[in-house]
Amino acid sequence: MVYQERVERATSGHGDMHDVSRDVARIVGRSHITTGIVNVHVVGSTAAVGTIEFEPGLQRDLPEILDKLMPAGRHYGHEQAWHDGNAHSHLQATTLGPSLSVPVGGGSPILGTWQQIILLECDVKPRQREIVVTVTGE
Amino acid sequence: MVYQERVERATSGHGDMHDVSRDVARIVGRSHITTGIVNVHVVGSTAAVGTIEFEPGLQRDLPEILDKLMPAGRHYGHEQAWHDGNAHSHLQATTLGPSLSVPVGGGSPILGTWQQIILLECDVKPRQREIVVTVTGE
Amino acid sequence: MVYQERVERATSGHGDMHDVSRDVARIVGRSHITTGIVNVHVVGSTAAVGTIEFEPGLQRDLPEILDKLMPAGRHYGHEQAWHDGNAHSHLQATTLGPSLSVPVGGGSPILGTWQQIILLECDVKPRQREIVVTVTGE
């Protein structure tokens, strides 16, 4: 069995983090799949999907450390060709990854109490993001 | 077809790496699924799952480089709120990711000879970890 | 339903990036699965699979930033045991990850226009790489 739905999210720009756990749990519920896997995937190359404890401290810490490790800059090859100021957005998004697969048991995603599914905007401007949620199982 | 089992692992604390390839292979065997995907997911926000050549050198190198890139510190927003000394654990776990999906062929996970599935403890104290292994296919 | 095929790619060595989106799309087409998930997995511990905007700038930027964050060096535990000069290859491959799961809708992988599926060679010499593509769904 397979069930697929899309979720739209408007982000405010670089470093904006959204908790999408409730959206994912509702879609798993509507799928009537009790055991399996749910895949959460963001379309596009400058946003990422992952898990984190969703609280204000880490909402600030994760974008900050990513900017320290992969800072904005004009020296990137991507900038020299495109001049859109978001080479670091691409690098951060690729490193975190665009998708996540979480097990489903008892009709719900299996996550820790302090483990939320997040969308992280890495691009330098507000974006309308599309997340595809696919549930497989029985 | 879907088959799901849980594996428990006691870790000794920050940087403790466990090879769980054999557990995963046994569960795939018990699933009687010959072709498909096996998802390996750790519950919680301060541990990670991935693949590496499991040998003593890299068992030391991976935690060391993660600590160099995302060091412990009191300056994190997470620390200022929670004071539990593990903000870097969260950041490292999110960057590596909590789950991995590996193909199944001929009734086994398809991995290289020197490619093992690992659980990496990122938290600062010993933890009892729960890994959910889900096999889908036929 | 499950469908699995293997793709071979010869890489030129460290930092060589290949766009495998077309291979993956063709395999999804041959699977006759219209809705589901496609898993792309590279066998071995010194190469990675992910998504990026595949253009010459980022083809250079991603390997460069990985080499800055996880540089080659003789000080790694892996080097002291194996002397094969590729400890950083292992660390980079583990951090990016060996596999990716992308949703399938309307018989195709769901990706952004500038979001390609890539194989990144992290090892220090040319390698013959095997990618396993597994489609599940209906």
CA torsion sign for C56, C57, C63, C64 is positive
DSSP E strands: which ranges in C11-105? Answer: 17-19, 36-42, 47-52, 99-105
Give the residue on B whose Cα is nearest the Cα of A98: B97
CB contact under 8 A, A110 and B132: yes
In a domain, B11, yes or no: no
* Residue that is written with structure tokens 């800059």 in the block: A73
Candidates B37, B60, B96, B110, partner chain C, best to mutate (most C CBs within 10 A): B37
Contact B11, B135 (CB under 8 A): no
* Residue that is written with structure tokens 């291979």 in the block: C23
Neighbours of chain A (3+ CB pairs under 8 A): B, C
* Residue that is written with structure tokens 């920050």 in the block: B14
Total domain count, chain C: 1
Q: What is the pLDDT of residues B76-106, one digit of tens each?
A: 999 998 889 999 999 999 999 999 999 999 9
In a domain, B64, yes or no: yes
Contacts of B69 in chain C (CB under 8 A): 69
Among C100, C108, C129, smallest CA distance to A94 is for C100
Contacts of B94 in chain A (CB under 8 A): 50-52, 62, 96
Predicted pLDDT at A81: 85
CB contact under 8 A, C51 and A94: yes
CB contact under 8 A, B87 and A61: yes
Predicted pLDDT at B81: 85
Give the residue on A whose Cα is nearest the Cα of B129: A112
Q: Which domain holds residue C115?
A: 2-137
Residue B13 sits at φ, ψ, to 5 deg, of 120, -165
In a domain, B17, yes or no: no
Contacts of B50 in chain C (CB under 8 A): 94, 97
Q: What is the pLDDT along chain C (138 residues), one digit of tens a residue?
A: 999 999 999 999 999 999 999 999 999 999 999 999 999 999 999 999 999 999 999 999 999 999 999 999 999 999 998 889 999 999 999 999 999 999 999 999 999 999 999 999 999 999 999 999 999 999
Predicted pLDDT at C81: 85
In three-state secondary structure terms, B128 is: strand
Q: How confident is the model at residue A103 (pLDDT cuts 50, 70, 90)?
A: very high
Percentage helix, strand, coil for chain C under 3-state DSSP, each rounded to 5: 30, 35, 35
- Identify the CATH number of the domain in which residue A89 sits: 2.60.120.460
Could you tell me the two tokens for B50? 């991935």
* Residue that is written with structure tokens 């069930």 in the block: A3
Instruction: Give the distance from residue B128's alpha carbon to the nearest chain A alpha carbon, in angstroms.
Output: 13
Contacts of A1 in chain C (CB under 8 A): 138
Predicted pLDDT at C64: 98
Contact B32, B94 (CB under 8 A): no
Contacts of C43 in chain B (CB under 8 A): 110-112, 115
pTM of the model: 0.98
Q: What is the pLDDT of residues B109-135, one digit of tens each?
A: 999 999 999 999 999 999 999 999 999
Q: What is the pLDDT of residues B25-56, one digit of tens each?
A: 999 999 999 999 999 999 999 999 999 999 99
Distances (CA, A) of C47 to A86, C1, C97: 25, 29, 8
Beta-bridge partner residues of A131? A7, A42
Instruction: Give the distance from residue C55's alpha carbon to the nearest chain B alpha carbon, in angstroms.
Output: 24
Segment A75-104 shows an average pLDDT of 96
Instruction: Please report the ipTM that was assigned to this predicted complex.
Output: 0.97
Predicted pLDDT at C82: 86
Segment A102-126 shows an average pLDDT of 98
- CA-to-CA distance for A2 and C103, rounded, in angstroms? 11
Instruction: Give the distance from residue B135's alpha carbon to the nearest chain C alpha carbon, in angstroms.
Output: 11
Could you tell me the two tokens for C136? 């599940």
Q: What is the pLDDT of residues A124-138, one digit of tens each?
A: 999 999 999 999 999
